[in-house]
Amino acid sequence: MDFLTLLQILDSTLRLATPLLLACLAGMFSERAGIFDIGLEGKMLAAAFVSGAVAAVTVNVWLGLLAGIGASLLLAGIHGLASITFRGNQLISGVAINSLAAGLTVLIGQNWFGLGGRTPSLVGDGRFPPLTLPFSEALAPVPVIGPIYHDLISGHTFLVYGAMALVPASWWLLSRTRFGLRLRAVGENPAAVDTAGVSVVRMRFAAVAICGVLCGLAGAYLATGLSAGFVKDMTAGRGFIALAALIFAKWRPVQAMGACLLFGLLEAIANRYQNIDLGGVIIPVQFMQALPYILTVVILAGFVGKAVPPRAGGEPYVKER
């Protein structure tokens, strides 16, 4: 494998890891506050569809992004209402949101555009343009550093850089601010937060809302950054892979980035190579394509050491005495 190919794979890794990372951080905020969210997938899908549709109609990707975030927030609100206000089962609510999104996106898409659930291909301002970082062209001829900067680091959409920047920002928010302290506390022992005179409901809704915004970004990126338009089921289980990455990362932001990059790398390799020849043994492409999902199962089965979820996770808070 030559240097250029390596750069291309890594470049692809970055782009493929971005939606995972956004969804993973979304899940992190929700779950650290004690609200399990298996509806990441559904929220991403809804956001992808709405942002693709709006961007296609208005030819304005920013309006598409806003609309996508709005759609995701709406579903997050439903999840919050079900699991916080009405103390319902968080898993069931998440499953409901996934089914709802899977069905509605195709139904409405077919009704509006008549393209079998797709949205029209996005052109021009309907997509996020790649950003060229300063001095990119000037540095390009410099050996090693030049190609790395020009081909790998420069030339992504703003959402890719945004997602990466969110990692230290999330860490700082969780560990260094009052909001973060309360959010973590509400996921570990809501009674402690309640008796300290802080509203558990408000904290949890805040966390669910952050989750909604981040899922919206992830979905919008799929439809308007990674691809040029929405296609049916385009999330392809990324919401669940993000959950696996979250567990792999033990609910921590920096580790979450590492986990998402790993999944992104696997996907990039599978996309790049058809059949991989390892000294006579040919690994079929199907295996490579299945690898992220296999890794997900392995992680969820607990082969990566003990992952302790937030202690109050999944349980509605009921005030007692």
Partner 1 sequence: MVGNEILGRQDTAAPSAPLAIELRGISKSFGPVQANKNISIRVARGSIHGIIGENGAGKSTLMSILYGFYKADSGEILIGGKTVTIPDSQSAIRAGIGMVFQHFKLVQNFTVLENIILGAEEGRFLRPSLTKARAVLKKLAEDYELDVDPDAVVEDLSVGHQQRVEILKALYRQADILILDEPTGVLTPDEADHLFRILRGLRDQGKTIVLITHKLREIMEITDHVSVMRRGEMVATVTTADTSPEDLAELMVGRKVLLHVEKSPANPGRTVLEVENLRVVDDNKVERLRGISLQVRAGEILGIAGVAGNGQSELLQVLGGISNGTGIVRLNGESLDVTGKHSDGQTRRAKGIAHVPEDRQHLGLIMDFTAWENMAFGYHNAPEYQRNALLMNNEALRADTARKMERFDVRPPNPTLAAKSFSGGNQQKIVVAREIERNPDLLLIGQPTRGVDIGAIEFIHKQILALREAGKAILLVSVELDEIMSLSDRIAVMFDGRIMGERLPDQTNERELGLLMAGMGDK
Interface residue list for partner 1 (CB under 8 A): 176-182, 184-185, 188-189, 191-198, 311, 319, 321
CA 197 to chain centre: 33
| Alpha carbon distance 23, 221 (integer Å) | 11
* Min separation Cβ 298 and partner 1, Å: 22
129 in helix, strand or coil? coil
The least CB distance from residue 307 to partner 1, in Å, is: 14
Torsions phi, psi for 276 (to 5 deg): -95, 130
Pair 232, 81: CB distance under 8 Å: no
Residue 184 or 238: the one with the smaller Cβ distance to partner 1 is 184
CB of 188 to partner 1, least distance (A): 5
Cβ closest to partner 1, residue 196 vs residue 301: 196
Q: Which residues contact 269 (CB under 8 A, 6 or more apart)?
A: 9, 288, 291
Q: Which CB sits closer to partner 1, 156 or 182? A: 182
Q: Which is nearer to partner 1, 162 or 180 (CB)?
A: 180
* Host H or E run for residue 66: helix 61-80
Report in angstroms how near the CB of residue 69 gets to partner 1 at its nearest: 24
Is the CB of residue 263 less than 8 Å from the CB of residue 248?
no
Lookup: tokens for 188: 């570990």
Q: Which two tokens stand for residue 23?
A: 């969804």
Cβ nearer to partner 1, comparing 196 with 281:
196
In the complex, least distance from residue 206 CB atom to partner 1, rounded to whole angstroms: 14
